[in-house]
Amino acid sequence: MNLISIPSDRKLAGVVPVREFSAGRHVLMVTRKGVIKKTSLDNFQNIRANGIIAINVDEGDELLDVVLTDGTKRIFIATHNGQAIRFDEKKVRPMGRATRGVRGIDLRPDDYVVSVCPVSAEDTERMLSVSELGYGKQTPITTYRLQSRGGKGVINMKTTEKTGKVVAVFPVEDDSEIMIITQQAKLIRIEANQIRKTGRSAQGVRLIKTDAGDMVTSASLVEAAEEEFEETPAS
């Protein structure tokens, strides 16, 4: 069934679960070209069947992802060519729905955003980076110095012909499980504690072996598998 009626030339950029449309929470949107926008969640309380406008996107750009924040986070943006920026969420003022947003990161002409993550102000996270050819690494969030919004960022991962470009970056914990999927439908599930912790400028280690012509298209967190056992009474 169709959950929302959208034109055939458009696609979904993100889905976020919401229980209450409280004014204290925000919808944070980021485009591929590094524009960021924050809008109070209560602006989306009355949505029509065919949707309502959320952001004005520049010609040649597109919405990459949507996340929820509580106004106290720091924002982490990572790019395809291995750059990243971290800045205080307060540097992004709330705007109405029918607005463009502001610059989140200053991109080189051949680069684009691949991930946006709200992270805590306590600096406890480790950021997992995964590349096209199956390489990955964990890096402490503290190694990404806090910057002003709109800067060029710092190196996040060393990308080479061996590793390919960056596909995804997101925070993990020791007990996190990650699912990686390739273009040719190869899939692997790996625990974060099996992945090497390195500095920002490292290329990481191989997480999944890709065949010739194949590459990683997706990497994301999954819930740890839980097995439930029921005791069967003796007959």
pLDDT, residue 234, reads 46
Q: Is the pLDDT of residue 196 over 50?
A: yes
Q: Is the pLDDT of residue 228 over 50?
A: no
The rounded distance, in Å, linking the Cα atoms of 71 and 114 is: 22
Other Cβ atoms less than 10 A from the Cβ of 6: the count is 12
pLDDT, residue 72, reads 93
Torsions phi, psi for 17 (to 5 deg): -75, 135
Burial class for 122, CB neighbours closer than 10 Å (0-12, 13-18, 19+):
exposed
- Asked if 168 contacts 219 with a C-beta cutoff of 8 angstroms, the reply is yes
Q: Is the pLDDT of residue 229 over 90?
A: no
**Which tops the pLDDT comparison, 3 or 15?**
15
Helix (H, G, I), strand (E, B) or coil at 219: strand
Domains and CATH numbers, the chain: 26-222 (2.120.10.90)
Q: Which of 9-23, 31-45, 91-105 has the lowest mean pLDDT?
A: 9-23
Grade residue 233 by pLDDT with cuts at 50, 70 and 90.
very low
Token representation of residue 143: 């190694």
Token representation of residue 98: 């029918």
Q: Which of 47-51, 89-93, 154-158, 176-180 has the lowest mean pLDDT?
A: 47-51
Nearest to 184 by CA among 159, 209, 221: 209
